[in-house]
Amino acid sequence: MKYRKKPVVIEAVQFKDDSADTIIALQEFMQSDVRVSYADPNNPVLKIETLEGVMDASIGDFIIKGVNGEFYPCKPDIFEKTYEAVQ
Protein backbone atom coordinates (compact mmCIF):
# COMPACT_ATOMS: atom_id res chain seq x y z
CA MET A 1 0.00 0.00 0.00
CA LYS A 2 0.98 3.61 -0.39
CA TYR A 3 0.43 6.31 2.20
CA ARG A 4 0.47 10.09 2.10
CA LYS A 5 1.83 12.14 4.97
CA LYS A 6 -0.98 14.06 6.66
CA PRO A 7 -0.66 17.81 6.25
CA VAL A 8 0.40 19.27 9.56
CA VAL A 9 1.70 22.71 10.49
CA ILE A 10 4.88 22.59 12.55
CA GLU A 11 6.99 25.15 14.34
CA ALA A 12 10.71 25.24 13.59
CA VAL A 13 13.77 27.44 13.98
CA GLN A 14 17.12 27.20 12.29
CA PHE A 15 20.14 26.58 14.53
CA LYS A 16 22.62 29.42 14.19
CA ASP A 17 25.54 30.19 16.48
CA ASP A 18 25.98 33.82 15.56
CA SER A 19 25.10 35.51 18.87
CA ALA A 20 23.98 34.95 22.43
CA ASP A 21 20.55 36.32 21.42
CA THR A 22 20.15 33.51 18.89
CA ILE A 23 20.86 30.88 21.56
CA ILE A 24 18.46 32.61 23.97
CA ALA A 25 15.74 32.61 21.28
CA LEU A 26 16.36 28.90 20.75
CA GLN A 27 16.01 28.27 24.50
CA GLU A 28 12.73 30.17 24.51
CA PHE A 29 11.47 28.16 21.52
CA MET A 30 12.42 24.85 23.14
CA GLN A 31 11.37 26.05 26.62
CA SER A 32 14.49 24.53 28.16
CA ASP A 33 18.21 25.05 28.51
CA VAL A 34 20.08 24.14 25.36
CA ARG A 35 23.51 22.55 25.28
CA VAL A 36 25.90 23.58 22.55
CA SER A 37 29.12 21.58 22.36
CA TYR A 38 32.23 23.46 21.27
CA ALA A 39 34.51 20.41 21.36
CA ASP A 40 35.34 21.38 17.78
CA PRO A 41 35.31 25.21 17.91
CA ASN A 42 34.81 25.39 14.13
CA ASN A 43 31.79 23.08 14.23
CA PRO A 44 29.47 23.76 17.20
CA VAL A 45 26.86 21.08 17.83
CA LEU A 46 23.51 21.51 19.57
CA LYS A 47 22.60 18.53 21.76
CA ILE A 48 18.85 17.80 21.67
CA GLU A 49 16.98 15.38 23.91
CA THR A 50 14.60 13.54 21.56
CA LEU A 51 12.23 10.63 22.01
CA GLU A 52 15.00 8.43 20.54
CA GLY A 53 17.78 9.81 22.77
CA VAL A 54 20.23 12.67 22.39
CA MET A 55 20.71 13.85 18.80
CA ASP A 56 23.17 16.37 17.39
CA ALA A 57 22.15 19.40 15.34
CA SER A 58 24.77 21.17 13.26
CA ILE A 59 24.80 24.83 12.27
CA GLY A 60 22.06 25.34 9.67
CA ASP A 61 19.91 22.41 10.81
CA PHE A 62 16.29 23.15 11.62
CA ILE A 63 14.94 22.32 15.07
CA ILE A 64 11.39 21.08 14.68
CA LYS A 65 8.71 20.95 17.35
CA GLY A 66 6.76 17.76 16.72
CA VAL A 67 3.03 17.19 17.05
CA ASN A 68 3.45 15.96 20.64
CA GLY A 69 5.68 18.86 21.71
CA GLU A 70 8.92 16.93 21.21
CA PHE A 71 11.94 18.45 19.46
CA TYR A 72 14.27 16.97 16.86
CA PRO A 73 16.80 18.20 14.30
CA CYS A 74 16.30 18.17 10.53
CA LYS A 75 18.94 18.78 7.85
CA PRO A 76 18.22 21.86 5.70
CA ASP A 77 17.88 19.94 2.42
CA ILE A 78 15.33 17.53 3.91
CA PHE A 79 13.50 20.44 5.57
CA GLU A 80 13.21 22.31 2.26
CA LYS A 81 11.87 19.19 0.49
CA THR A 82 9.35 18.45 3.25
CA TYR A 83 8.07 21.82 4.49
CA GLU A 84 6.96 25.14 3.08
CA ALA A 85 6.24 28.41 4.88
CA VAL A 86 2.63 29.15 5.83
CA GLN A 87 0.95 32.45 6.53
Residue 74 pLDDT greater than 90, yes or no: yes
Strand partners, 66: none
Distance CA 45, CA 1 (A): 39
Q: Strands across the sheet with 11-14, in order? A: 11-14, 62-65, 71-74
Residue-wise pLDDT for 18-71, tens only, equals: 888 888 999 999 998 888 999 998 999 999 988 899 999 999 999 999 988 999
Residue 86 pLDDT greater than 90, yes or no: no
pTM: 0.86
Distance CA 9, CA 44 (A): 29
pLDDT of amino acid 71: 95
Domain ranges of the chain: 11-82
